[in-house]
Amino acid sequence: MFNKMMGRTRYVVCRLFIHLAGSEVAPILGQLNRGARQAIDVDGDIEVLGEGLVELCQTLLQYDEYWTSAANEGDVFWSEGEAGDYINELFTDSAERFLSEPGLSSNSGLNEPLSIPVTRNVIVMITLAYEGEVPELENDLSNIQALKDGLKAIINLHYKHKLRAIQVHFSPAQLGDELSNDQLLQYYPELIPL
């Protein structure tokens, strides 16, 4: 029995939520949208998706002063099929939370100059599956140092070719949309202040 266990592959599926807040966080939406377009263009090529994920993690690390809250969850599987099912479950959940409504406000007068409202809240959800064991991602990441270590571990997973699935969701979905504090509480109740 023990020998059989040793030969099995350990799959980990995890999801990170990072909430950035402040007047300077909107530019990150540009990079997220570029990454989303690139992901569609490469049709799931894990190597290219991994490069995009590395860029995103590096950007998030540069924006650490805007991190406001975070959460993470995950599970370990010994079956690739079960890991795949869980990835799909998290993907569906992230997509359903995904808030992307047109920013139509009723108080916009005709004489006001045209301007795009700039969101002060951005949520990034990173869901990934990898092979092996990465303690930095299998802990509670709701403190700044643990989150930094987790993002660096994701970068290393790419370079070690251990990533098996990558999904990134973000809200708001486009520049001009706003994610309010009330919506944050409603759609992302698991967030823990950093």
Instruction: Please report, in angstroms and rounded to a whole number, the separation of the first and last CA atoms in the chain.
Output: 43
Tell me the CA distances in angstroms from 186 to 6, 110, 113, 134, 190, one per residue in order.
Answer: 43, 32, 32, 31, 10
Q: List phi, psi (to 5°) of 31.
A: -65, -40
122 residue type, one letter? V
Q: Is residue 147 one of the residues assigned to a domain?
A: yes
Does a structural domain hold residue 154? yes
- pLDDT: which is higher, 110 or 169: 169
Q: How far is CA 85 from CA 12, 13, 75, 76, 129, in A?
A: 12, 10, 12, 12, 11
The domain total for the chain is 1
pLDDT at 175: 66
Residue 40: partners with Cβ closer than 8 Å, 6 or more residues away: none
Q: Is residue 110 part of a domain?
A: no
Domain that holds residue 171: 10-99+119-180
Domain membership flag for residue 5: no
In a domain, 17, yes or no: yes
Q: For residue 12, is pLDDT > 90?
A: yes
Task: Compare 76 and 172 and report the one with higher pLDDT.
Answer: 76
**Token pair belonging to 62:** 């540069």
62 occurs within a structural domain: yes
Task: List the single range of 20-29, 42-51, 102-111 with lowest mean pLDDT.
Answer: 102-111
- As a whole-number percent, the residues of the chain with pLDDT over 90 amount to 60
Residue 128 within any structural domain of the chain: yes
Please report, for residues 41, 57, 58, 155, 166, the alpha-carbon distance to residue 62 in angstroms, rounded to integers and kept in the order given: 26, 9, 6, 14, 21
Place 24 in a pLDDT band, splitting at 50, 70 and 90. Answer: confident
Confidence band of 116 (pLDDT split at 50, 70, 90): low
Query: What mean pLDDT, rounded, does the chain reach?
Result: 85
Residue partners of 134: CB distance under 8 A and separation at least 6:
12, 153, 157
Residue 55, in any domain of the structure: yes
Q: What is the mean pLDDT of residues 57-69?
A: 96
For the segment 124-172, what is each residue's pLDDT rounded down to a tens digit?
Answer: 999 999 999 999 999 999 999 999 999 999 999 999 999 999 999 998 8
